[in-house]
Structure 1
Amino acid sequence: MNCLVFSLSPSPSVFVIVLLLFVQVPSSASNSSLFTDCSNQFVCGDISTGFPFWGAGRPSACGIPELELKCENDIARMSINQVAYRVLEIKHEFKILRIAREDYSAGLCPPQLENSTFNPKVFDPVIGYTNLTFIYGCVVTPIVGIPLPGLFTCKINDTDGQNGYIQGGAAGPGDCYGSVFVPVPFTNSPLIWNVTDLEELLKEGFEVRWKFDSAACEECNRSSGVCGINNVTNQTTCYCPDQSSGSKTCALPGMCLNFS
């Protein structure tokens, strides 16, 4: 066992050390609780994960603020920029999420017209995906023999039979009521313009890559700690059993203080 030994003397430095030890006691107790809570895994259906995610027993100090997960009827869900997604798969080794828009699970007529946008400080796009734009509420008269790609109808402002269509890229609505762009797997197949096939493609979801400094967390984990987020600095921190927080790693086991 490695011990730190101090010899009492008239020097006031010893008393300062003792005072600091007592001051850190509340922090240690709080950090010990976070160590326990953040050691728990988020488990929901086929999804099991830890840092950088939080939710359902893992408090906000256990993960990145934008990566909150919820479990409803054994389905993992999350909200990104006001859009609800189902979490279909988490690939930790590649930092990749596969998600599907909740509002498109029942068809191409979502209740709210919100684009699939992602904070570039938190997410990176994944190669192999492209945007498609769904354009709603158009006065469309297809030219005979030249059908519009992916023509469909939706109720807009309580009015049935409003025309919509699909085009490549991220575009605005133009003269139509609104538009929504969503990432889909890149393909040269004409099936992408078939509404039925496209609905199935949307249910399969798309991938995004989350961003954070994994090196700091790996160092923390090697020291038997648990990685989390300091809610004040918004930086990664290491939670350790019965120790104060704020360091990158936990102290080696067997350390002690002996005053003589």
Structure 2
Amino acid sequence: MYYPLSSSLMFFILFSLFYHLPCESSKCESLFQCGNITASFPFWGGDRHKHCGHPLLELRCDQNKSTSLFISDQEFFVLHVDQTSYSLTLARPDLLHSFCSLTFTNTTLPPEIFELSPAYKSVTFYHCYPVLPDLSNYTCPVIGPISVSGNPEDHETCFPNFAANVPTSFVTKEKKLNIANLESVLEKGFEVNMNVIMKACQACSYSNESCGFDENFPFEVKCKPHHSPTGKFLIHHYHFLSIFFDVLDITY
């Protein structure tokens, strides 16, 4: 003996089926948003799942609505993201304090992801005694003389030293280093672009596929067919739907 299914029960069954339907594409349509930073591919973080971007480009949002990115175990503040030119402005938190209180640590940006913008250059700072006479220098009250050079091979035997990115207009030939100007420059950060990644993704767009990355190093580009939630629904639930509507035919 069959008992007719009420319309409310049928609605509940169908709603439950659709409600739990995973929609991979919608997860990647979400944007990362934090303060004044909005970002999409190739980044992930926040509401964007890891498979929606490059494994190393996770954006994080702190309680102060500041965006950060960890590169080679070094934290960088993300000051600006330009999704049109695929560039971003980064600043090292440890370089935002008084220059004379800094700890000299080096960080290398992975060349397979980032390129330094042509508007910026790398300079090297040295902590040496006695003062290096042929370089611009400044004497800090506690740690002593600091010298700077635009040539990383200058005085490479003088330790500790570290490199920082500054605008190409930054002068390294002055006899006395303008420490106030240096601190202002470091606070504004530097610009990098992600042309390496985006050029690698062009092959996917040519084949009308979406661009993804291997989860393991060296995180090579992997083209994937565009996901169709409706198709996935039909594949996984066709059998159930057939039985469900057969029951409706019997009961009615």
**TM-score, normalised relative to structure 2:** 0.67
Alignment of 1:103-114 (within 5 A): 103-108=94-99, 109-111=101-103, 113-114=105-106
Aligned to 1:78, the other structure's residue is in SS state strand
Q: How many residues align?
A: 203
Aligned-pair distance for 1:44? Answer: 0.7
> Would you say 1:46 and 2:30 are equivalent positions?
no
Partner residue in 2 for 1:180 = 162
Structure 2: 5+ residue stretches without partners: 1-19, 233-252
How big is each residue's C-alpha offset from its partner over 1:143-186, in whole Å with a ceiling of 9 and x where there is no partner?
7xx8x5231438xxxxx434322121334764533111112110
In 1, the alpha carbon distance for the partners of 2:157 and 2:24 equals 53
In 2, the alpha carbon distance for the partners of 1:207 and 1:36 equals 30
Bigger relative CO (Cα 8 Å, ≥ 6 apart):
1
Partner residue in 1 for 2:12 = none
Aligned to 2:152, the other structure's residue is in SS state coil
How big is each residue's C-alpha offset from its partner over 1:81-134, in whole Å with a ceiling of 9 and x where there is no partner?
22211111111111111111111011324335123x222221223212111111
2:27 touches 2:49 (CA, 8 Å); kept in 1?
yes
What one-letter code is carried by the residue in structure 2 that aligns with 1:199? E
Identical positions, percent: 25
Aligned-pair distance for 1:195? Answer: 1.0
**TM-score, normalised relative to structure 1:** 0.65
Partner residue in 2 for 1:64 = 54
In 1, the alpha carbon distance for the partners of 2:132 and 2:214 equals 56
From the two aligned structures, give the one with the greater strand fraction.
1
Structure with bigger gyration radius? 2
Quick one: which of 125, 136, 157 aligns to 1:149?
136
Aligned to 2:136, the other structure's residue is in SS state coil
Task: Name the Cα RMSD after superposition.
Answer: 3.3
Alignment of 1:98-177 (within 5 A): 98-108=89-99, 109-111=101-103, 113-115=105-107, 117-136=108-127, 138-141=128-131, 149-153=136-140, 160-171=142-153, 174-177=156-159
Structure 1: 5+ residue stretches without partners: 1-28, 155-159, 245-260
Aligned to 2:47, the other structure's residue is in SS state coil
Partner residue in 1 for 2:250 = none
